[in-house]
Amino acid sequence: MADSGVGQEKLFAGARLRRLRKDLAQTQAQFAESLGVSPSYLNLLERNQRPVTARVLLALVQNFDVDVRAFGAETDRQLLTDLKEATGDPILAGTDLDVRDLQDLLDSHPRAADAMAKLYQAYRESNATASDLAARVVEGGGAMGQGLLSPLEEVRDVLDKSQNYFPSLEEEAQGLRRRCGEFSGPIEAGLTERLHRRHSIRVRMYDDAVMGGALRRFDYHARKLLLSDYLTQEGRIFHIAATLILLECESAIDQVLGEAEHLSDMARGLYRASLVSYGAAAVMMPYDAFQQAAEDLHYNIEALSRKFTASFEQVCHRLTTLNRPGARGVSFFLLRVDQAGNVSKRFGGGVIPFARSGGSCARWGLYEAFRAPERVMAQAIELPDGAKYVSIAKAISRASPGGASHLNVVAVGCDAIHAERLAYKVDLDQPTPVGLNCRLCERTHCAQRAFPPMQRKIRLDDHVRGASPFAFGED
């Protein structure tokens, strides 16, 4: 009897199978033997003339430790979003590429699709840089000296590719946590004692006048770790753990860095800082204990914060890393925005695609959270393609050096299929319709629309005025 397809929807993933085989440097005959199929059948799979079956997916998991989500359409949604953003640009007007065309390109030639999306991003960044440079020249300023691609986007892409999970850093952090646990008292005392006994480094708190706006400074010659008195207890623990990661886990960080190809120098530096932060969070919230607690507490972020002496944002970050094969948690995305709508952190995690430019949707409860700081707001949202998610957001006030404070909203979310596993209850029958942003959203009659969609033409009628300031057609 032939294998049944995955669910009711047939899964065609020939390009992804072919790419995995080439990455493994295997012939079709070798790869087919590993999957328990004939070479001719594998050839049909790679050419999308047969759907990938449950048996093939199981063989991929058992033989190559592959996350089956990598073979689902979900992981391609970000790339499809990038392609829609590219083909919606006025420079490609007249090409008449619709979503079906883009999906066909993505299915048949994923590397070509990725190259096209990256080329458009380079074009967009180059234009933005040129515009900024022209403005600075007019104002008497100098050159900006930026590259074609945003280093932040480079780092975000490599984190998404790795699913924000680094087993070697998890192992190093677990060992460091165990060594610190040899000392009595809470984790902050253990980390501090480890710094002192192993590295002869003392931890000292100083006010902003001494710190000069920094939150953490390491004085190598004086063997002192200087921390700002603006830091909360969670912040102190994080920075002490980060210092220990730098001192004791440098080789593991360098190994992960070496696996990342084609990063610019600036992106490589930002990536390194991200890995250090990842290691520090893993020390504070060890994988096994945190994953189990997350399940037991139904992913209640505030309860996890209390249990692990971590901030709301630190817990949200850690939730996005629970991707160990055989011990996965709920897959979360993460977003952090300020009151101007700037996205300072973003991780899709294969859960939701994000627009790379143009802000986000005003109907999403991210911005409503600014009205009620420190209150957790849960919301069911639905994208134009019908995908539903649970969003959990909180506006966090943070003291800054110099005496000021600022608000950011930190949000995590997951696919609605996981709603029953969460402590946060939302009405999935009446989700809030949202878009990725106005330029990529084709919903009509939205009173909060700021821009028309990129792939639709504006229709003007002096005698008709709808809720939205823009009326647009199907072509």
281-301: pLDDT as tens digits: 999 999 999 999 999 999 999
Tokens 């004086």 map to which residue? 222
Percent of the chain whose pLDDT exceeds 90: 37
pLDDT, position 250: 93
**Minimal CA–CA distance to 251: which of 191, 196, 175, 163?**
175
Lowest mean pLDDT among 96-105, 153-162, 172-181, 291-300: 96-105
Give the separation between CA 309 and CA 245, rounded to whole angstroms: 18
Other CB atoms within 10 Å distance of the CB of residue 98: 13
Q: Which of 210, 236, 207, 209 is nearest to 222 (CA)?
A: 210
Q: Is the pLDDT of residue 39 over 80?
A: yes
Q: What is the mean pLDDT of residues 124-144?
A: 49
List b or e across 17-47, with b for residues whose CB sees 16 or more CB atoms inside 10 angstroms: bbebbeeeeeebeebbebbebeeebbbebbe
CATH code assigned to 14-71: 1.10.260.40
> Which pLDDT score, from 0 to 100, does residue 376 have?
94
The band of 187, judged by pLDDT with boundaries at 50, 70 and 90, is: very high
pLDDT in tens, 73-86: 555 677 777 777 77
Most confident of 108-122, 341-355, 412-426: 412-426
Q: Indicate the pLDDT class of residue 136, thresholds 50, 70 and 90.
A: very low
Same fold: 14-71 with 167-284? no
Residues 284/241, Cβ–Cβ less than 8 Å: yes
- Write the class of the CATH domain 167-284: mainly alpha
Sheet-wide strand order for 202-206 = 202-206, 224-228, 216-219
Q: How do 388-399 and 343-347 pair as beta strands?
A: unpaired
Strands, E, within 191-260: which ranges? 202-206, 216-219, 224-228
Query: Tell me, what's the pLDDT at 2?
Result: 40
Predicted local distance difference test score (pLDDT) of residue 135:
41
Instruction: Please tell me the distance from the alpha carbon of residue 270 to that of residue 185, in angstroms, as a whole number.
Output: 34
Domain residue spans in the chain?
14-71, 77-149, 167-284, 327-440
Please state, rounded to an integer, the average pLDDT across all residues of the chain: 82
Q: How far is 358 from 331, CA to CA, in rounded Å?
A: 25
**SS3 sequence, 158-204?**
HHHHCCCCCHHHHHHHHHHHHHHCCCCCCHHHHHHHHHHHHHCCEEE
User: Could you tell me the maximum CA-CA distance found in the chain, to the nearest angstrom?
Assistant: 79
- E-only strand ranges, 239-296: none
Identify whether the C-beta of residue 74 lies closer than 8 Å to the C-beta of residue 45.
no
- Bigger pLDDT: 198 vs 397: 198
**Statement: residue 148 has pLDDT above 70:** no
The Cα 323–Cα 165 span in angstroms is 6
- pLDDT tens readout for residues 378-391: 999 998 888 899 99
106 to 114, 158, 365: CA distances (angstroms):
8, 19, 32
What φ, ψ does residue 145 adopt, rounded to 5°?
A: 70, 30
Query: Which of the listed CATH numbers 3.40.1440, 1.20.950, 2.30.30, 3.30.450 matches domain 327-440?
Result: 3.30.450
Q: Which percentage of the chain shows pLDDT scores above 70?
A: 81
User: Of 124-133, 220-229, 357-366, where does mean pLDDT reach its minimum?
Assistant: 124-133
Mean per-residue pLDDT, 377-406: 86
Question: Side chain identity at 449, as an amino acid letter?
Answer: R
Per-residue pLDDT for 238 more than 50?
A: yes
Q: Dump pLDDT digits (tens) for 254-289.
A: 999 999 888 888 999 999 999 999 999 999 999 999
Task: Find all residues with CB under 8 Å of 327, minimum gap 6, and list them.
Answer: 287, 288, 291
Q: State the number of CA atoms in the 13 A half-sphere of 390 facing the CB.
A: 22
Average pLDDT over residues 461-475: 65
DSSP sequence for 282-351: HHHS-HHHHHHHHHHTTT-HHHHHHHHT--HHHHHHHHTT-EETTEE----EEEEEETT--EEEEE-TTT
Three-class HEC string of 395-432:
EEEEECCCCCEEEEEEEEEEEHHHHHHCCCCCCCCCCE
Q: Facing residues of 206 across strands? A: 228
Residues 6 or more apart in contact with residue 253 via CB below 8 angstroms: 169, 245, 272, 275, 276, 279
In sign, the C-alpha dihedral spanning 9, 14, 20, 21 is positive
Per-residue model confidence (pLDDT) at position 220: 86
Closest residue by Cα to residue 246 from 222, 227, 272, 282: 272
Q: Shortest CA distance to 425 belongs to which of 433, 416, 434?
A: 416
